[in-house]
A and B are shown apart, each in its own frame.
Chain A
Amino acid sequence: MLKHRMIAFFIILIAAAIGYFVYATQSSSPFKLGLDLAGGTELVYTADVSKIPVGSVADSMSALRDTIERRVNIFGVSEPVVETETAGIFGSASTQNRLIVELPGVTDVAAAKSAIGATPVLEFYLIKTKDYNAIAAKNLNATDTQAAINAVRIPTGITGSMLAKATLTNDPVTGAPDAVSLQFNSTGAQKFADLTKNNIGDIAAIYLDGQPLEFPTIREAINNGQAQITGNFTSASAKDLVRNLNYGALPVPITVLSEQTIGPTLGQATVNAGIMSGLIAFAVIALFLIIWYRLPGLLAVIALAAYTALNLALYKLIPVTLTAAGIAGFILSIGMAVDANILIFERMKEELRKGRGIMDAVHEGFARAWPSIRDSNTSSIITGGILYFFSSTSVIKGFALVFIIGVLVSMFTAITASRFFLFAVSPKKPGRLSLFLMKNGFTN
């Protein structure tokens, strides 16, 4: 008895601590909300792998994923998701290689799509300083100046494809994060070394998509394949340039299959409605349990509170991306979590009616209700598993995950935790009051 009370007290303490954890971490690590709640854009692309040898499709898809991820990261999105997926209709030979891009908070789809899909070209040209000065001396307007410079520029054969990577760096003079550092690969480094060695005093002009970016003068031979671009950048435009330089061509051409954008207002309303319905549903179920099952009902409500805290904590720790369907799944699971309690309490009542003592009845109630609970929950998990693996959208996957977690957690709270609670408070001797508390008045 004392042991049960200690454990019951301990369970409540832990559940309260978990509940406090969920509450206290809400500002530092809030629940992960899906696109439909946080607002944002989801793009699904199909990759054209017809020109890729069969054996290296997986490799080029992962290269594609990395490239897109780099672009998306520099786009300034918090927690973007880039995934590849192989999908198709069962039994048909035409499987598709897909790329799924989720951009929370991004509602400007056109900008997002061009950032993902564009393939800019970076080129280096050599311009003789005397030519450059001659043109500058003419005082032409911008368009004519550019045309004149384009006429005298000499291709060097160095392009963006020879860059190993570009990174954002601080301007050596101002210290602002608006300079771009370039690292060439070995071919590029060799060509760049030749170019700089042979043309000291001339200009290595940098062009992006045919537009001149910068006209730095070559001061010395650069043999280590490193260069830095400083210019009239803001930190935003420097960031853009880094993204652009890291572009290169996509390893596989992609086209948009589906796109979805959700404004943030709709999401917030859904979250609020979800919280509200969760609270009301909990209150209604709690009221029902206490009125119908009295003392055991009250214990089930405490177990249900522990269930709620445990679930919410798991959503944060795993983490589970909550969608509107996921929240609905959680509320649904509150209604299902007490089912095991109901089966146990009804069975207890039956055993009490047969004339067993209270402790005996509690024991029997748990033992006899177990097969039904086990079989029911197994069928739920089967359903949840199939739902998870056959879901065509991330929304449904989120629901399935919440559903499965709910079933598993309820096995603990509605059975193990409730059992300790019941043993902790069950009176040993059947008095009138204790029988009233343990039975329910609505017999059938």
Chain B
Amino acid sequence: MFIVRYRIIFYIFSALLVIGSLLAIFGWGLNPSIDFKGGSLLEVAYSNQRPSQSDVIAALLPLNLSASVIPSETKSYDIRTTTLTDSQKNTLISTLSALEPSGTTTIPIHIGTTTAMASMSVPSMQVIGYNTIGPTLGVEAAWKSVVAVILVILAIVLFIAWAFRKVSEPVSSWKYGIVAIIDLTHNIAIPLGVFAVLGHFYGYEIDTLFVTSLLVILGFSVHDTIVVFDRIRENLHNAPGSKRFDEIVGASINQTFVRSINTSLTTLFALVVLYFVGGSATEHFSLALIIGIAAGTYASICLGSPLLVTLEKWQKKGKK
């Protein structure tokens, strides 16, 4: 009952988080990766001593590729540029390679029947990965992402309205859907906001994997909401009209509180392990999921069901 009675506090808390996120998103903007804006990303690793970042930037300046240089791992750099042609790419690699004195290796040379050892210089910088995406492909990926997010929200909301179609009293089933929309928007606004902040200060990027994490957050965070709604549905069925709606919602939250937390906890355990152990490829992905699922669990307990009560109260006022 505590949550339902003091719901205004939780509304304000959620509203502050969402407003803060929106300010970050629209103030600083999101930092799209080459997945969405097109361009090239070259990851290189130096074997001995990594040249300083400023040296690399200075060396790349004359190439005119509007390159950004970000250190990654201990001896590597991520170089982001405009979409490169093959010859531009080769120039870029040789420029980067020239920054570190090449090492030498000895190779056997066969002359007639005698074998001599000759020393030969080898470049010590290695290209770890290269990715280039044309601008049209980027725009298309961005569009697909936006459409996918909207479709998932619509599909889930329609599904909830349908799944709870037999619940009409005192709050009709489409209102469960409306509440789900508010929940879901809340749950993706917060990770977006956090990534806008991280993007501004640490250069975190929004890529297709981030959008995937948003979709998973949408799909997962609705689980807890469904569990509470389902309990409300059951309690309404068992005690038709005998109790006040807000009491039923409050009791339902209390009854399902532990399982909502526990189902999210096991998933969060997996994600936290993935974040710390899983390697750099999925680090940001798991971070986004952790934020979104935590927000989603909070919202399903403290935002979604209390909102049903608020809707019911408005409905009553409207009738009077």
B234 at the interface (CB under 8 A from A): yes
Chain B residues closer than 8 Å to A390, beta-carbon distance: 144-145, 147-148, 151
A2 at the interface (CB under 8 A from B): no
B131 engages A259 (CB within 8 Å) = yes
Determine the residue in chain B with the shortest Cβ distance to A350.
B255
In the bound complex, how far is the Cα of B231 from the Cα of A382, in angstroms? 22
Determine the residue in chain A with the shortest Cβ distance to B128.
A263
B226 engages A339 (CB within 8 Å) = no
A88 at the interface (CB under 8 A from B): yes
A318-341 CB contacts (< 8 Å) to partner B: 324-325, 327-328, 331-332, 334-336, 338-339
Q: Which of A110, A266, A277, A336 has a CB less than 8 Å from the CB of B274?
A: A277
B159 engages A328 (CB within 8 Å) = no
Chain B interface, number of residues (Cβ within 8 angstroms): 70
B21 at the interface (CB under 8 A from A): no
Please give the distance in Å from B197's CB to the nearest CB on chain A. Answer: 23
Please give the distance in Å from A339's CB to the nearest CB on chain B. Answer: 4
- What string of 1s and 0s marks CB contacts (under 8 Å) between A210-232 and chain B? 00000000000000000000000
A285 engages B266 (CB within 8 Å) = yes
- Knowing A269-B279, A392-B141, the reply to whether A335 touches B132 (Cβ < 8 A) is no
Please give the distance in Å from A390's CB to the nearest CB on chain B. Answer: 4
A386 engages B148 (CB within 8 Å) = yes
Please give the distance in Å from A94's CB to the nearest CB on chain B. Answer: 9
B130 engages A261 (CB within 8 Å) = yes
A325 engages B282 (CB within 8 Å) = yes
B220 at the interface (CB under 8 A from A): yes
Chain B residues closer than 8 Å to A375, beta-carbon distance: 159-160, 163, 226, 230
Chain B residues closer than 8 Å to A392, beta-carbon distance: 35, 137, 140-141, 144-145, 208
Chain B residues closer than 8 Å to A372, beta-carbon distance: 226-227, 230-231
Please give the distance in Å from A298's CB to the nearest CB on chain B. Answer: 15
In the bound complex, how far is the Cα of B130 from the Cα of A38, in angstroms? 14
B58 at the interface (CB under 8 A from A): no
Chain A residues closer than 8 Å to B95, beta-carbon distance: none
Chain B residues closer than 8 Å to A350, beta-carbon distance: 255
B96-143 CB contacts (< 8 Å) to partner A: 126-134, 136-137, 139-141, 143
Stretch at the interface among A68-76, A138-146, A164-172, A393-401: A393-401
Please give the distance in Å from A308's CB to the nearest CB on chain B. Answer: 12
B257-290 CB contacts (< 8 Å) to partner A: 257-259, 262-263, 265-271, 273-274, 276-279, 281-282, 285-286, 289
A260 engages B132 (CB within 8 Å) = yes
B265 engages A288 (CB within 8 Å) = yes
Q: Which of A270, A399, A444 has a CB less than 8 Å from the CB of B254?
A: A444
B155 at the interface (CB under 8 A from A): yes
A292 at the interface (CB under 8 A from B): yes
B129 engages A263 (CB within 8 Å) = yes
B212 at the interface (CB under 8 A from A): yes
B209 engages A396 (CB within 8 Å) = yes
Please give the distance in Å from B290's CB to the nearest CB on chain A. Answer: 11
A89 engages B139 (CB within 8 Å) = yes
In the bound complex, how far is the Cα of B132 from the Cα of A344, in angstroms? 48
A420 at the interface (CB under 8 A from B): no
A265 at the interface (CB under 8 A from B): yes
A383 at the interface (CB under 8 A from B): yes
In the bound complex, how far is the Cα of B269 from the Cα of A36, in angstroms? 25
Binding site for A on B (CB under 8 A): 35, 43, 86, 126-134, 136-137, 139-141, 143-145, 147-148, 151-152, 155-156, 159-160, 163, 208-209, 212, 215-216, 218-220, 222-223, 226-227, 230-231, 234, 254-259, 262-263, 265-271, 273-274, 276-279, 281-282, 285-286, 289
8 cross-chain pairs, A with B, having the tightest CB-CB distances, nearest first = A383-B219, A335-B270, A273-B279, A335-B267, A390-B148, A324-B281, A277-B277, A392-B141
Q: A270-B279, A335-B268, A395-B209 are in contact. List 15 more A-B contacts (CB 8 A).
A: A36-B281, A269-B279, A284-B270, A325-B282, A331-B273, A335-B269, A338-B263, A346-B258, A372-B230, A379-B160, A382-B155, A383-B155, A386-B215, A442-B258, A444-B254
> Can you offer 19 A-B residue contacts whose CB atoms are under 8 A?
A36-B281, A258-B133, A258-B137, A261-B129, A274-B279, A284-B269, A284-B270, A285-B266, A324-B282, A327-B282, A336-B267, A338-B263, A343-B263, A346-B262, A368-B234, A375-B160, A386-B152, A393-B35, A393-B208
